[in-house]
Structure 1
Amino acid sequence: MFKIRTRRAALAAVAATASAALVLTGCAGGGDEPAATYDPDEEVTLNFAFWGNDVRAEMYEQAIAAFNEEYPNITVNSSFLGFPEFWEKRQTEAAGGGLPDVMQFDYSYLRQYSENGLLLDLEPYLGNIIDTEPLSENILGIGVVNGETTGIPTSTNAWGMYTNPKLLEEAGVDEFAGGSWEDYNDWMAEVTEAGGGDLWGGTDWTGRIQNFEVQQRAKGEDLFTEEGEPNFTEEDLAAFWEQGSEIREDGTVITQQRLEETYPLSGFDSALTASELTWDNFGAGYLGNLGEGFTELGLVAPPVTEEGAQDLYLKPSMLHSIASTTEHPEAAATLLNYLVNAPEVGEAFGTNRGIPASETQLEGAELDPLGQQIADYEESIADRLGDAPPVPIVGYGTLEEKFRLLGTELGFGTLTVDEAVEQFFAEMDVVLNQ
């Protein structure tokens, strides 16, 4: 199999064969189909869209400038918006058939756009124009919808647990040493007792759908099947929420009322709790909100439901996709490959988009201490990493928010577990059948 050229090899190849068409061949996804090709002498203009701010825009400018050193005949017109406005514009463009050639893409929208035929199947370009060697099978599988690869992750994050070493030292309690969910509850109770009413061990973890997902995956069951059907029962959900009853009632975790007073900050970045189960890319935000005096965080694996289970997975911080209507699929795939794999892009972004999913891009990134800590954490949980779950169902974000709101009501004591389960399944029925 011929691998995609490195930047240095590519420059040499272009210099030697400036007037010849560049033919990139590969085994992955190729079969008997003709190899994907890109003619370096062809003048091509691509539209590229991303969400972000001026800081990210400067990073993309640097990355695209490096891209144009290698591909001077591909002009890239980039544009960006805030996250909500980005998707509002994509919906308008999708209705009119005018999506950008290449797009930064969010995981929660991947199924919707893929099933509507709006995204290009990248399979013919994998292993030739799009280098797959620096990307693990787990990472490549993240972008597969109904058997078609419609997105390539640029970066990853994983579910983990942040802790606050400074607060733990002041309370005289050691770091959570790992163990079961019951062990975690006991540790939180120890912190809360030592905190004397000013510090709690953590928040009611049954209010997050991701912790329910971790426990279900420990049993070998994702929350939803490939067909988008629920893969859990009312009894499963009731049993999960019941695990939070005791820690809510005995004061182990911070009260819901206290959390409401700190909103929009969480108990963790308000320095009121010593731990928080969340995605590992939240660390920079926590440090920023904690402010002066807090210079480091702990990052450990979530509690274990069943020893040896592959209950965790790498989730894309974002992906890159190509519109199915692009008139230049080979050139678009060339740009996508560069944005995902090039070390120059890693140098431009660092961890702005998360920990780079590509080994070659990770090599180019200069990781700050927190970024290195996250990278080390993801390496440390390798034995617990399984295949990513099926791409989220259309409307998953609505269900995630409903789960959180019901967890809030359980915290206030305004709902019983049975009532919460009934409401969640009613909401899920609406989402799945809309």
Structure 2
Amino acid sequence: MKFRSRKLMAGTAGVALAALVGLTGCASGAPAGTQPTLDPDEEVSITFTFWGNDVRAELYNEAIAVFEEQHPNIDVDIIFLAPTDYWEKRQIEAAGSGLPDVVTMDLAYLRQYSQSGSLLDLEPYLGTIIQTDAIDPQVLSAGVVDDVTTAVPLSTNSWGMFLNTTLLDQLGVEAFTDGTWEDYYDWIAEVSDAGKAAGVDVWGGVDPTGRIENFELQLRAEGDNLFDEDGTPGFDEERLAEFWDSVSTQRDAGQLVPQQRIAEVQPLTAFDSALSASDATWDNTGAGFLANLGEGYDIQLIAPPLSVEDGKDLYLKASQMYSIASNSEHPAAAATLIDFLINSPESGEIFGTNRGLPASETARESADLDELSQTIADYEASIADRLGAAPPVPIVGYGSLHEKFRELGEELNFGTMTVDEAVTQFFAEMDVVVSSQ
């Protein structure tokens, strides 16, 4: 594929994560008392980086072309990488104070890059160059680290429950509608038993306790966070053991999709391989599910279970964000590009929901929502009474904890580890991460 960019850079092997974490500092911004402005006559060149696939790259090419028509004095060089290479390349750049001007940021890495001093304080640009009136304040707050705004969300998603209604109809089992987590576990068992009786490889679901997000939702419903701002966990060994043990009956009875079957269908999931009739995950996963399932399948999106009455377990997550590098020589031009990519009707029309549901109402109104995208938009509107404040920005090292949690969940489902052993291993890993905060 040929890109319009004049600076398309590839990822390379490089420094370890510690090189970036070891940097100290805080987000920097415009000099005090100054109002950031863009000189329309000054010719500048800025770099912009994002992750994705060829489809997203073409959309960005189209959007940047429109931006440069509107701002002929700003030349944008695109740096596009696959997700697997993206953060390795950013670590190398940050260690050498050479990040691109505009960086597509992920919530999991925001604290790491903010606390290292790699990102600009965006406060002077908010409401001036980057318009924020069209973005929900709760969503906007996701870009704040240590009271400093270092990123602006461009899209949102929320945790939800997908159901394969085609499989359920074939098995003659009613779809799960609402109830507690215990109700959901019982429903999983019912579907799995129906699949076994019919002689088909269909189960009610994968092990819900294999995902740290489900644990986080239960903690939030109880009034706790997974981790507080300073890295303090909102749970102890007993609470984690209770969570992992909550499906032990279904696990022992073979009523969850076997881990071996999950491994066999990778990189697909059990849900989009039609092995599982349900899956709790981020709502913007639906398009991929439908594409992989193919024609003949219908899916439904509902709110996940809730065991605490009136619990505020859900939140709108910033699925992607934009930041400006503190080393940028043209922050006003970078902010102008961010405003266009987040707020402009042209951007909304070009991208639709490719980057997630647009966080800006202006862009969202211009996006052509297909049936599934409209379903996701309706879903996010329907869970308003369950939305709580967004959790603190993830601690540095959260990515390794997320992966450890997943690995231990696999061990539990393979039957190669006990719950107590899994809890001990996770807390050992967590102690290392938290102590480094």
**TM-score by shorter chain over 0.5:** yes
Do the aligned residues in 2 keep the contact of 1:143 with 1:153 (CA within 8 Å)?
A: yes
TM superposition outliers: structure 1 runs of 4+ over 6 Å: none
Deviation digits for residues 57-112 of structure 1, max 9, x if unmatched?
Answer: 21112111222232221111112111232222222211222111111112211111
1:430 alignment counterpart: 432
Do the aligned residues in 2 keep the contact of 1:138 with 1:386 (CA within 8 Å)?
A: no
Which residue identity lines up with residue 350 of structure 2 in the other structure?
A
1:92 alignment counterpart: 92
2:291 alignment counterpart: 288
1:365 alignment counterpart: 367
Write out aligned runs for 1:4-403 (5 A): 33-195=33-195, 196=197, 197-198=199-200, 199-294=202-297, 296-403=298-405
Distance in 2 between residues matched to 1:273 and 1:92, nearest whole Å: 40
Deviation digits for residues 322-368 of structure 1, max 9, x if unmatched?
Answer: 00111122221111111111111111111111111111111111111
Do the aligned residues in 2 keep the contact of 1:165 with 1:298 (CA within 8 Å)?
A: yes
Q: TM-score, normalised by structure 2?
A: 0.89
Which residue identity lines up with residue 264 of structure 1 in the other structure?
P
**Offset of 1:433 from its aligned partner?**
3.4
Distance in 2 between residues matched to 1:281 and 1:88, nearest whole Å: 25
1:419 alignment counterpart: 421
Distance in 1 between residues matched to 2:384 and 2:33, nearest whole Å: 35
Distance in 2 between residues matched to 1:172 and 1:56, nearest whole Å: 40
**Offset of 1:261 from its aligned partner?**
3.0
Do the aligned residues in 1 keep the contact of 2:229 with 2:395 (CA within 8 Å)?
A: no
Distance in 2 between residues matched to 1:37 and 1:258, nearest whole Å: 57
Taking a change above 3 Å as real, the CA distance of residues 267 and 85 of structure 1, as seen in their structure-2 partners, is closer
**Offset of 1:225 from its aligned partner?**
0.8
Deviation digits for residues 219-261 of structure 1, max 9, x if unmatched?
Answer: 1111111112222111111111111111212333222233233
**Offset of 1:399 from its aligned partner?**
0.8
Distance in 2 between residues matched to 1:86 and 1:257, nearest whole Å: 30
For these two proteins, the number of residue pairs brought into alignment is 404
1:409 alignment counterpart: 411
Deviation digits for residues 16-70 of structure 1, max 9, x if unmatched?
Answer: xxxxxxxxxxxxx99x944332222222211111112322121112111222232
Which residue identity lines up with residue 297 of structure 1 in the other structure?
I
Tell me the percent identity.
61
- 369-378 or 80-89, which moves further after superposition? 80-89
Equivalent position SS for 1:37: coil
Q: Could you say what the CA RMSD is over the residues aligned between the two structures, in angstroms?
A: 1.7
Taking a change above 3 Å as real, the CA distance of residues 53 and 259 of structure 1, as seen in their structure-2 partners, is closer
Do the aligned residues in 2 keep the contact of 1:102 with 1:322 (CA within 8 Å)?
A: yes
Equivalent position SS for 1:316: strand
Deviation digits for residues 385-422 of structure 1, max 9, x if unmatched?
Answer: 11211111111111111111111111122222111111
**Offset of 1:292 from its aligned partner?**
3.2
Equivalent position SS for 1:420: helix
Equivalent position SS for 2:267: coil
Distance in 2 between residues matched to 1:361 and 1:337, nearest whole Å: 11
**Offset of 1:427 from its aligned partner?**
0.9
Do the aligned residues in 2 keep the contact of 1:221 with 1:231 (CA within 8 Å)?
A: yes
Equivalent position SS for 2:421: helix
Which residue identity lines up with residue 253 of structure 1 in the other structure?
L
Deviation digits for residues 132-159 of structure 1, max 9, x if unmatched?
Answer: 1111111111111111111111111111
Distance in 1 between residues matched to 2:89 and 2:410, nearest whole Å: 33
Equivalent position SS for 1:86: helix
Do the aligned residues in 2 keep the contact of 1:68 with 1:75 (CA within 8 Å)?
A: yes
Distance in 1 between residues matched to 2:124 and 2:299, nearest whole Å: 43
**Offset of 1:278 from its aligned partner?**
0.8
Do the aligned residues in 1 keep the contact of 2:185 with 2:247 (CA within 8 Å)?
A: no
Which consecutive unaligned segments of at least 5 residues does structure 2 have? 1-28
Distance in 2 between residues matched to 1:86 and 1:189, nearest whole Å: 40
Distance in 1 between residues matched to 2:268 and 2:54, nearest whole Å: 24
- 138-147 or 249-258, which moves further after superposition? 249-258
